[in-house]
Amino acid sequence: MIVALIVACEVAFWVLLAAGLTLRYVFRMPRLGLALLLCEPLLEVVLFAVTAVDLSNGAEPDWRHGLAAVYIGFTVGLGHSTIRWADARVAHRFAGGPPPVRPPKYGTARAVHEWKVAGRWTLAALVAAALLEAAVRYVGGDGDTGSLRAWQQRMLFVVGVNVVIAASYTLFPKRRPKGEPEREPANLG
């Protein structure tokens, strides 16, 4: 049941995003579109509540409960940037907005961009790890929490990979090819 709810939350995320942006830009109803976009966090609240109820009803913690915590963490850490990404593209396509800003390709600007990306992934992993730790403490010593601890280790791996990527752009910055013109400064957000 938890896995089906995670899938339903993911589908609902994209449906709400598409509906909110459609109302906002195609039908020119920005407040109603914004209201739909603001409903996105309710999906995670529902998933969190169902997972907590499942554990409180005596379910043995397993990979599904860990996946629910990871999904919530990743939505917290990456959901806002995903919505901003989609919003910029839909605004450009349907509302005459400016073209979406591409990430910088070279030098310090690219390194800063990669550190911001790593920060979002780190936030996602830390939220997931905190929820997993809460589940471990909630279950206590009576249950087998090995699968939850395994998810926490995976979250450390996610942080490590993102830090290595960002550090590589800092230590070994990609240089602009000679003769390529400089563009306007990119949005580093």
pLDDT at 187: 53
pLDDT at 180: 80
The number of distinct structural domains making up the chain is: 1
pLDDT at 183: 64
pLDDT tens digits for range 44-67: 999 999 999 998 898 889 999 999
Residue 96 lies in a domain: yes
Over 90: is that where the pLDDT of 167 sits? yes
Residue 102 lies in a domain: yes
- Sign of the four-CA dihedral 7, 12, 13, 15: positive
Residue 186 lies in a domain: no
| Distant-in-sequence, close-in-space partners of 108: CB < 8 Å, separation ≥ 6 | 173
Note if the pTM is more than 0.85: yes
Interatomic CA distance for residues 156 and 150, integer angstroms: 10
Residue 188 lies in a domain: no
DSSP code per residue over 51-112: HHHHHHTTPPP-HHHHHHHHHHHHHHHHHHHHHHHHHHHHHHHHH-PPPPPPPP-SHHHHHH
